[in-house]
Amino acid sequence: MAIILRAVEIEKKYGKGELQVNALKPSNLELEEGVFYAIIGKSGSGKSTLLHMLGALDKPSSGKIYLEGESVFDLKDSELAVLRRRRIGFVFQSFNLLQEHTVLENILMPIHLDNKDPDKEHLDKVITSLGIEDKLSFYPDELSGGERQRVAVARALVSQPAIVLADEPTGNLDENTGREVMRLIKESAKKFGQTIILVTHDLDIAREADVVITIADGKILSIEETKGLADNK
Amino acid sequence: MDLREIAKVGLKGRKKDTLLLKIVIVLAFVFIVTSIVFQGSVETTKLEQRLDLYGDWHAAYLQGNAQVLDRLKTEKDIDSIGVSTIIGVSEKAGVIGTFNEELLEMGRMELYKGRYPQASDEIMVELNQISDMGLDLEVGQKIEVELVAVDRKWDLTEYVESLKDKFDERWIIENGYTNLKYNTHHNVPFEKVGEVLVVMSANYIYVSPREAYVSPEMLIDDGGLISHKLILKKEFTITGILNTYSDKWDSNGFTVANSFITEEGGQEFTNAIYNNSLGDFSYLDMKSNIYLRSDALEGELFPSIKDQYPNMVIEDIENDTQWMVNAFVFTFGRSEEERQAVYDNILSYSSIKEKNEGNIEGGGQDHSKMEMNTSNFRRNNFSYPDKLASTEYVLTLSIIAIIFITTALAIFQIFLTQMRRRARKIVLLKSIGATNSQIVKMIAYEGFYLLRTGILIGLPTGLGFAALIIYIMNKFGGRNIDFHIIPSLLILGIIAGILALLIGMAVPVIYAVRIPLVGTMSKPPKHKKISQHTKKSTLKRQTFNSINLQYYKQNRGKTLITFGLSLTSIVILTTTILLCYLSFDNYREVVRSTNRPDYAMETYYGEMTIKLPKVQEELLQLEGIKKAEPYKVGRSTLLWYDGIGDNKFLNDFKELLPMNLGARHFTSYNNELVEQEPWIHNAFYTKYYGIDGNSEIFDRFESQLTVGRIDKEKFHKGDEVILLIPMYLEMDKEIKDVKISSEQLSVSTTDDNRMAWIFRNNGRYDLSYSNRYADYYRFPEEIKHGDTIYLSADEEKIEGDSRVTSYVTKEVQVGGIIHYFPEEGVWPFSNSMASYVVVGSYNGMESIYPNSRNGLLTKSLSEMKSITDTFYPNGYGRTIWYLDTDSQGVDRILDAKLLTFANENGYTLFNYKASNAELYHEALNNAIIIGLLGITASAIACVILYNTTVSKLEQDKNRIGILQALGVTKEQFSNHYLKLGIITGIGSMIITHIILFIVLLLTSIGLIEGVNMSFVDYVHDIFVNRLWLYPWFVHVIVCIVYLIITIFIYYLPNKKVTNLYPVENIRSLGR
């Protein structure tokens, strides 16, 4: 399978001088198209930092990230924004829905910001598969945590991005809802051939991934293919 | 680390917030100190100037006697008493009075030259008195002072009654009253008492049969004493020339001395009055002006004792005794009606005889003023005006109040924002055991540190700023303001600043105390709750703009706060400009709209026309004189036209005018003229202003013609004239209870403004030359352009040993009429509201005032004065110069030069500059204070706006991060905030202008009394009249600057946020 995302010697430091913290030590990573990656590690290990940089939401202190062969952080601001809007879908742990907008508005926002109309068939599919078709005119604060996360997933998937990144998408959910959300992400990715990169500290969820990347103290310790990936291959 | 340290470190840590707070508190103190010191300096300087001008006495009993003085001496609250005993009136030196040390001190008498008198034969004379008498402005001159100490008319009632016994009705019937003869006798015995020559001049009357012999002794013994005068003569040396004070002090018509002699000198005169053998003058109650000072009571001295000092009872013999006897004689045996007719005739003739027009210039009397205070005991209102009512006092208190409110609001807003940001830290402190009182103490320490900075920086900066403003005003504004601090006011200001900080901090402190250890105090956005959700909503395509619009709609509160703050800033700024403009209202109304000159000079003779350019050149050579415009004026011009009898204004005026004033306006009251042509005996008295047809004045008049046009050649020849006839509005309300005596009317109005005053106060018409009323008032149509009018003037000449009065008449055409002045008025017409004023050429004026051609010729000033006073009161006309200077300030050097010029050429100088400058500087002071206040308040509002915008942006960081993650570019954000700044700025400006317009509209309603105005009329009135001379340029610049600042305030902070990567902004949620 083709390499969709490549990180070369990316590093993230916070602060200056003696107070400087290496959130992510120089790391290399190559991620293939259509594969489900899980990044696991303890709290503060640097997994979210890595995810943010891979999703072009944060800039590495050094190193480069290539998406489909293009150096992401060498792009102009406007090009980077277009890339975020078209090629990357991001599911945040705390949903990050815009409270002033309805569910449907939130879901369609990336497409509308791209000055496009949604593919209605695809939209219906996503909405139906996430089971939020009767919540479209609700505001986020009228939904439960699970429902909000589904909306966040729908927003990430609706523009059919090449990569879906999810930062502990089940972290704020109960076990059953969490499983349900995971199932939906996986199903959608499978259906649309997307690459999923998911940060979690839940090993059960990680086991469902094709590749598990373990990170500790800001360093990638291992990248292991699971049985699932071998089966797929 | 103790709480003080935590507070200190915290302030250092929150650099930006701390800086904002410091800016606000420093600005507040700077402004408080600047305005208070500036205001205090101006007030103190003004007070000093007032005291220099009007004296430092608190109250005065004018024309009091020895008993009043003795009583006042016993008043315990009075610290010093200045006494000036009035000795008498002299032709040369005016009113002669004594002085004491206290009077010099509390009167702040300033010598123009020389020294105060020390010996009994030394005198100091007021500058204007010297000028009026044409004396040299030099000390050391010897003058013989001849003063009238007693001028008494005796009541002849008793003598007239005795005639009834002497000539009974039968005798009158048999012999006829024309057979009566009234003999008068005048004797002048004299005597020298010490150094004083005493002359008594007495007049007696004795009525006898025509053929009877009457000796002087019979007259003295059996006749009636009409009047007597006691004249005192003594030679004095002028030791000093005193700067004029008598026309400035709050004396309101009471006699005050023009020349001062020592008390010993006064004693010599008193001795001569009481100890001469010519008569018994012990009845004479010498009058003194008694000036009082009380350090403890100051302005309150008057109200505290006024009730104990009522007015003096004055023996009032006002009848002209000579005429009283005449009337008796002529009416003896006649009916009551006949008697009354004779009296009326006598009165009107008497009025003509005493017709004293005084100065044409009229002393710049404001036609609207009519106030009288005839009390002997009075407060010095000029030096000590009622403080509570003064604009400056109200302004100072308002400034402190406004700064107090603005500062408190700014501190409140910034602290509250800060507390929200610091919520986590405060919770942390609470979670580790900090009590609420410790939190309060910590914040109080922060307040203390801010206050320290505010006072340490604000106080000296404010003092420096005030000193700078004063320096600039003194250096470039022609002012002479002394730097002065009023400690009590400064302390009040500082307390206001401290209180503002404490009050502003109060709510945020309560907020900090109430922050819960768990949960949040923030609320979700208020969106419309949807009761029935549809399965699938249809959706229009969202854009970045619509997303933002949705956000602002649902966060109306925050949006409105920032918009409101922006609006507040521009409202403050534009209101400041408007208030600054309005503070010049009085100046505009009194000086600019009437075009009041800085000086007017009037002489009692008509200067030779040929000499006018030379005089003009001399005047323009005086440093500071910018413009000198001459008029040759003929007084008592008789105006007549065919149909004058139907002129409703003149008829109404005649009807409303008290009878004894009729002769001053209409020739028909003069029975001597009955036989004359109608244009003489049925004319209206006006004035003829002669101008040069090739001058700028002519161009001005020509450009201001309401109707008609002028043929320059005819105008030059004097065949065509311009008439000034004001517009009128029928007031349509009859005011029946106008109770004003003819005497009061005579004193309070001039011949020029009397018609307008009477019409207005009787509810008949309102007359105006102001273009403001041009659309609503009507133009009188009694005389039209092209009509022929007859202008006549007395041609007094001496034939043999008597003066003969005949008339010169000229038939002229009315070329054009000025009913209103399109923009600025023309002095003095715009002030006096005189009707039917004739403006013609020098030739035209001289054709009916022939003596005017001669000017001074070879005669001396005193000869000319005698000629014009005695022989040709009207024939010579007058000459008036209107002078403008190139500065707004009072120029004492120019004053002195002009006074000398006036003195040398027989002019009377009218100085309007001091009053113009006072009005201007008063307005300027207020404008500076209002301007400073406006700038400071809007600067504080901008700081609040900036803080709110930054704070709002920080609260929006999460949303911005999400939108960034969803693909919104930096450019989109930048454009959005730029647009937001522009929309807010322009929106605020539109609303501000609407608000200001509404305010102006509301305050315009009813301003033009008696006129029904439409909305369009009001708009026209506001923009053309009320905002006449409004500084639109400044207004536009301020709006542009405001717009730029607003855009920056909205635009710049966004850069810092949108330059961050999405995740950095999203993370900020956890702050």
More confident residue, A109 or B184: A109
% of chain A residues with pLDDT over 90 = 27
pLDDT surpassing 50 at residue B368: no
Residue among B555, B960, B966, B1064 with most chain A CBs within 10 A, to mutate? B966
Q: Among A84, A137, A141, select the one facing B967 at the smallest CB separation.
A: A84
User: What are the φ and ψ backbone dihedral angles of B201, each rounded to 5 degrees?
Assistant: -115, 115
Under CATH, which architecture does the A34-57+87-232 domain have? 3-Layer(aba) Sandwich (3.40)
DSSP 8-state assignment for residue B1022: I
Mean pLDDT of A76-96: 87
- The mean pLDDT value for B277-281 works out to 81
Side chain identity, residue B599: Y
Within 8 A of B971 by CB-CB distance, chain A residues are 77-78
Cα distance between residue A47 and residue A58, in whole Å: 13
pLDDT tens by residue, A112-145? 888 888 888 888 888 887 888 898 989 998 898 8
Q: Report d(CA B839, CA B828) in Å as an integer.
A: 12
Count of CB atoms situated within 10 Å of the CB of B893: 10
The residue written with tokens 């800039």 in the block is: A59
Residue A66 pLDDT greater than 90, yes or no = yes
pLDDT at residue number B721? 94
Per-residue pLDDT at B522 exceeds 70 = no
d(CA B414, CA B237): 75
Q: Is A86 at the interface with chain B, CB within 8 A?
A: yes
Chain A residue with Cα closest to B970: A77
Q: What is the pLDDT of residue B211?
A: 76
A37 against B761, higher pLDDT: A37
What pLDDT is stored for residue B40 in this prediction?
A: 82
Task: Look at residue B408 in the predicted model and tell me its pLDDT.
Answer: 84
Convert the pLDDT of each residue in B588-615 to its tens digit.
888 888 888 999 988 878 888 888 898 9
Name the band, by pLDDT with cuts 50, 70 and 90, for residue B387: low
Q: What is the DSSP string of B381-437?
A: TTTS--GGG-HHHHHHHHHHHHHHHHHHHHHHHHHHHHHHHTHHHHHHHHHTT--HH
Q: Are the beta carbons of A108 and B530 separated by less than 8 Å?
A: no
Report the residue from A59, A98, A113 with minimal CB separation from B544. Answer: A113
Instruction: Return the higher-pLDDT residue of B799 and B287.
Output: B287
The closest alpha carbon to B339, from B348, B352, B330, belongs to B330
Q: Which of B913, B889, B891 is nearest to B599 (CA)?
A: B913
Looking at chain B, how many residues does it have?
1071
User: Closest Cα partner for B226 from B170, B151, B166, B175?
Assistant: B151
For B473-488, b where at least 16 C-beta lie within 10 A, e where not — what string? Answer: bbeebebebebbebee
Q: pLDDT band at B857, cuts 50/70/90?
A: low
**Phi-psi map region of B290: left, alpha, beta (phi>0 left; psi -120 to 50 alpha):** beta
Report CA-CA distances (Å) from B415 to B447, B490, B944. Answer: 10, 26, 11
Set of chain A residues whose Cβ sits within 8 Å of the Cβ of B524: 99, 141
- The yes-or-no verdict on residue B829 having pLDDT over 80 is yes
Centre a 10 Å sphere on the Cβ of residue B13 and count the other Cβ atoms it contains: 11
**Is the CB of residue A75 less than 8 Å away from at least one CB of chain B?**
no
- Which residue in B925, B1004, B1005, B935 sits closest to B577, CA to CA? B935
B542·A112 Cβ contact <8 A: yes
- Which helix (H) or strand (E) segment holds residue B89: the answer is strand B80-90
pLDDT value of position B836: 93
CA distance B277 to B280: 8
**How does residue B6 score in pLDDT terms, banded at 50, 70 and 90?**
confident
pLDDT band at B331 (very low <50, low <70, confident <90, very high): low
Residues of chain B contacting residue A83, judged by C-beta atoms under 8 Å apart: 967
Residue by residue, DSSP assigns B192-204 as EETTEEEEEEEEE
- pLDDT bucket at B345, cuts 50 / 70 / 90: low
Tell me the C-alpha distance between B443 and B420, whole Å. Answer: 14
Identify all chain B residues contacting A114, using CB atoms and an 8 Å cutoff. 967
Q: State which residue of chain B sits closest to A131, comparing Cα positions.
A: B535
Q: What is the pLDDT of residue B684?
A: 93
Of the candidates A75, A59, A113, which has an alpha carbon nearest to the alpha carbon of residue B972?
A: A113
Residue A231: count of CB within 10 angstroms of its CB = 8
Contact B497, B454 (CB under 8 A): yes
Q: Are B560 and B871 in contact (CB under 8 A)?
A: no
CA distance B909 to B901: 9
Q: How far is A212 from chain B (nearest CA, A)?
A: 24
Top residue of B520, B1055, B1063 to mutate, by most chain A CBs within 10 Å, is B1063
User: Which has the higher per-residue pLDDT, B254 or B700?
Assistant: B700
Looking at residue B364, what is its pLDDT?
44
A107-121, B12-26, B457-471, range with the lowest pLDDT: B12-26
Q: Do A137 and B968 touch (CB under 8 A)?
A: no
Task: Please report the number of interchain residue pairs, chain A to chain B, with beta-carbon separation below 8 angstroms.
Answer: 115
User: Distance, in angstroms, between B958 CA and closest chain A CA?
Assistant: 8
Helices (H) and strands (E) in chain B, counts: 37, 25
Name the pLDDT band for B744 (thresholds 50, 70, 90): low
Torsion of CA B88, B93, B99, B103, to 10 degrees: 120
For residue A177, what pLDDT is reported?
A: 74
Q: How far apart are CA B194 and CA B178, in angstroms?
A: 49
Q: Find the CB nearest A104 among B527, B539, B967.
A: B539
Distance, in Å, from the CA atom of B650 to the CA atom of B666, rounded to the nearest integer, reads 9
Helices (H), ranges, B639-690? 648-656, 659-662, 678-681
**pLDDT value of residue B724:** 94
Contact B251, B173 (CB under 8 A): no
- pLDDT in the model for residue B619: 92
Interior angle at CA B399, CA B395 and CA B403, nearest 5 = 170
* Of B341 and B931, more confident: B931
- Across the range A57-70, mean pLDDT stands at 91
Test B541 with A81 for CB contact under 8 angstroms.
no
Q: Does A54 touch chain B (CB under 8 A)?
A: no
Q: What's the token pair of residue B1015?
A: 């909305």
The domains of chain A are located at 34-57+87-232
The number of angstroms, rounded, from the C-alpha of B840 to the middle of its chain's C-alpha atoms is 31
The reported pTM is 0.73
- Mark yes or no for CB contact B547/A109 under 8 Å: yes
* Residues B537, A137: C-beta atoms closer than 8 Å: yes
pLDDT at A5 over 80: yes
Q: What is the pLDDT of residue B389?
A: 47
Omega into B303 within 30° of 0, i.e. cis?
no
C-alpha angle B770/B774/B775, rounded to 5°?
A: 150
β-pairing verdict for B802-818 and B788-799: antiparallel
Shortest CB distance from A90 goes to which of B543, B965, B972?
Answer: B965
B886-907 confidence digits (pLDDT tens): 887 777 788 878 887 887 777 8
DSSP 8-class letter at B178: G
Hey, are the CB atoms on A105 and B542 less than 8 Å from each other?
A: yes
A228 to chain B, closest Cα gap in Å: 31
| Beta carbons of B542 and A110 less than 8 Å apart | no
Structure tokens at B400: 């402190």
Among A47, A86, A98, which would you mutate to test the B interface (most chain B Cβ atoms within 10 Å of its Cβ)?
A98
The answer to which of A18-27, B164-173, B481-490, B1019-1028 has the lowest mean pLDDT is B164-173
Report the residue from A58, A100, A113 with minimal CB separation from B968.
Answer: A113
Question: Quick one: average pLDDT of B555-584?
Answer: 86
Give the mean model confidence (pLDDT) for residues A54-63.
Answer: 91
> Distance (Å) from the C-alpha of residue B457 to the closest C-alpha of chain A?
35
Per-residue model confidence as pLDDT tens digits over B937-982: 888 888 888 888 888 888 888 889 999 988 899 999 999 999 999 9
Q: What is the ipTM of this complex?
A: 0.90
Residue B290: helix, strand or coil by DSSP? Answer: strand
Q: Are B346 and B321 in contact (CB under 8 A)?
A: no
At residue B773, does pLDDT exceed 90? no
Mean pLDDT calculated for residue range B234-253: 83
| pLDDT, average across residues B796-815 | 76
**How confident is the model at residue A93, as a pLDDT?**
80
Q: Kindly state the average pLDDT of the residues B695-722.
A: 91
Q: Is A73 on the interface with B (CB under 8 A)?
A: no
B1028-1061 b/e with 16+ CB inside 10 Å = b?
eebeeeebeebbeebbebbbebbbebbeebbebb
Q: For residues B1019 and B1071, what is the distance between their CA atoms, to the nearest angstrom?
A: 54
Chain A residues lying within 8 Å of B539, measured CB to CB: 104-105, 108
Of A55, A100, A139, the CB nearest to B551: A100
A104 touches chain B (CB under 8 A): yes
Question: Considering only residues 108 to 167 of chain A, which have any Cβ-Cβ distance to chain B shorter than 8 Å?
Answer: 108-110, 112-115, 117, 133-139, 141-142, 155
The pLDDT of residue B216? 80
Query: B1058: distance to nearest CA of chain A, Å?
Result: 11
Residue B837 — φ and ψ, nearest 5°? -75, 140
The Cα diameter of chain B in Å comes to 135
In this prediction, residue B585 carries a pLDDT of 84
**DSSP SS3 for B145:** strand
Cα distance from A137 to chain B (closest Cα, Å)? 6
H/E run at residue B293? strand B288-293
Residues of A in Cβ contact (< 8 Å) with B963 = 98, 113
Q: Judging by DSSP bridges, how do beta strands A36-40 and A195-200 pair with one another?
A: parallel
Cβ atoms of B810 and B847 closer than 8 Å? yes
Q: Is B278:B191 a contact under the CB 8 Å cutoff?
A: yes
Poorest-pLDDT segment among B93-107, B251-265, B448-462? B251-265
Distance CA B437, CA B317 (A): 85
Tell me what the pLDDT averaged over chain B comes to.
81
Beta carbons within 8 Å of B112's beta carbon, 6+ residues apart? B127, B137, B241, B242, B243, B896
Of chain A, the percentage scoring pLDDT greater than 70 comes to 97
Number of other CB atoms surrounding residue B670 within 10 Å: 18
